[in-house]
Structure 1
Amino acid sequence: MTIPIYQADAFTNQLYGGNPAAVCPLTEWLPNETMQKIAAENNLAETAFFIKTPEGYHLRWFTPELEIDLCGHATLATAHILFTELGHNEPAIHFTTEKAGTLIVTRNGDRYTLDFPSRPPYPAELPEGLIGALGLGDKLPKQVLRSRDYFLVYEDEQDILNIVPDHSALSKVDAIGIIVTAPGKTVDFVSRFFAPAAGVAEDPVTGSAHCNLIPYWADLLGKNELHAYQLSARKGELWCEHKGDRALMSGNAVTYLKGEIYI
């Protein structure tokens, strides 16, 4: 038995940039164990699986270690494959998900806009060992917050670039991931995202983190339209909008491969 597989780089307009995600169209769900094994074999931050429904598509995401509740870049990659490879010709795609509700992706030329839930972070206590694991010495963040992930705010972009994480130590922090962010030099804000506990040492570009970042920076800067970079080695670019209880993020995507998986 075989199933199709595609891989696309999301939040970039260049191959080998942004965040790669695998996309697997299905006619019916495979056993969870099989989907988890495929994600581990792909060894990408996320592998997306979807099936057609009367309303649109049902979408799920797996890291190499676990099924995740929300993933932006793999949703963008899935929409890109549907629009460019699988003949979707409606102006929008509606994805139903178990834990994030309905997610809508629209296309405008070669840019896609994701309509995601806004998840403003709230003040939190700094967990033991987190600061030491980031490799900034004794430098403390200006703020410590949390939503699903810990959310640390630093003074400037250079602080974010200077982080050299101890991934083994970070994996002991009780959270899916750790967001670090600061004002940008040429954009409104920058960020990085680490999730070693989920099998992702550093995620190149993280849509789910921007569900936290967008409402935080919109409130702080007093503006609803924002431009952002995620400063991983592959780098990602996002155009963002805060719309009340929704966070909109736009970006490009490019197809890297298509083929078949034997299962």
Structure 2
Amino acid sequence: MQTIDFYMIDAFSNKTFGGNAAAVCPLTEWLPDETLLQMAKQHNQSETAYFVRTDTGFELRWFTTQYEINLCGHATLAAAHVIFEYLDYPDTEIKFSTRFVGELTVTRKGEWLTLDFPAWQTESADAPDLLFEKLGIDRSEVQETRVARDWLVVMNDPQRLQALTPDIHGLAPLGKMVCITAQGEDDDFVSRFFCPGEAVAEDPVTGSTHSMLIPYWAEKLGKTEMLAHQVSARGGELRCQLRGDRVLIGGRATTYLIGKVMLR
């Protein structure tokens, strides 16, 4: 029998049941991909982060209940929280090596952890009518990431954005995730993030989406440091900064559960 440490972390929150939950499993060596996927299915969280320590830092991978993904912010924050809090890690910076987006770093200052992620530029897009129909809004500004992962829909009213009840799975034929955003009232900007066809239809707090939100709002607002709030039911606060072709995404994390995975 193989025993693996297991953590469940509420990322982008300083309290239990806030932010976005992620499972985290430190490994001594990589298990077969099928085993990692089966574990993620068993954990039944939006993402499970796995990492292996190396001579120069950590290798990091992320799995949903369906497949491996190329980037996940909240699970990276959760993994860093585990390393800082439970693995006797002496430094204030962690270097993660990833398969799809190169090296990522996370730094700690007090209770805040800051992700250093790539900046994703967006460009104006001509979105299909189905997008607005299923969101339940009139046609508005739409941006598209150059990495072709998400639609970014810009709204004028942050309160209406928060109150929307879209047909999320009805968006599935579009073949992309959908982020809606608006300039905030108490924060610089707010957002929500929908995952049609996924087990978790609305992601509570999406760190990676801020790779495109931060450059967009930095240009719109004429500032490089911003406060953001993802206004899902659980919600989460993010400190944001644009730094050239990188974005800094700050958040806090709270441990919910510590246990053991036992593979037979």
Distance between the aligned counterparts of 2:241 and 2:32, measured in 1? 37
Paired residues in the alignment total 260
- Aligned pairs for 1:204-243 (under 5 A) are 204-243=204-243
Q: Partner residue of 1:193?
A: 193
Deviation per residue, 1:183-219 (Å, 9 max, x gap): 0111100000011334330100001100000000001
Cα shift at 1:70:
0.4
Q: Partner residue of 1:143?
A: 142
Cα pair 1:172 1:197 within 8 Å, conserved: no
Cα shift at 1:230:
0.1
- TM-score, normalization: structure 1? 0.95
2:174 is paired with a residue of what secondary structure?
coil
Distance between the aligned counterparts of 1:171 and 1:3, measured in 2? 35
Sequence identity of aligned pairs in percent?
49
- TM-score, normalization: structure 2? 0.95
AA aligned opposite 1:219:
E
Cα pair 2:170 2:196 within 8 Å, conserved: no
AA aligned opposite 1:183:
Q
AA aligned opposite 2:140:
P
Distance between the aligned counterparts of 1:190 and 1:82, measured in 2? 29
2:209 is paired with a residue of what secondary structure?
helix
Distance between the aligned counterparts of 1:134 and 1:39, measured in 2? 29
Cα shift at 1:142:
2.8
Q: Partner residue of 2:163?
A: 162
Gaps of 5+ in 1: none
Cα pair 1:105 1:112 within 8 Å, conserved: yes
Cα shift at 1:162:
2.6
Cα shift at 1:4:
1.0
Structure 1 vs Structure 2 CA RMSD: 1.2
Distance between the aligned counterparts of 1:245 and 1:144, measured in 2? 18
Distance between the aligned counterparts of 2:103 and 2:12, measured in 1? 21
Q: Which contiguous aligned blocks of 4+ residues in structure 1 show a shift greater than 6 angstroms?
A: none
Cα shift at 1:144:
3.6
Q: Partner residue of 1:56?
A: 57
Gaps of 5+ in 2: none
Cα pair 1:66 1:198 within 8 Å, conserved: no
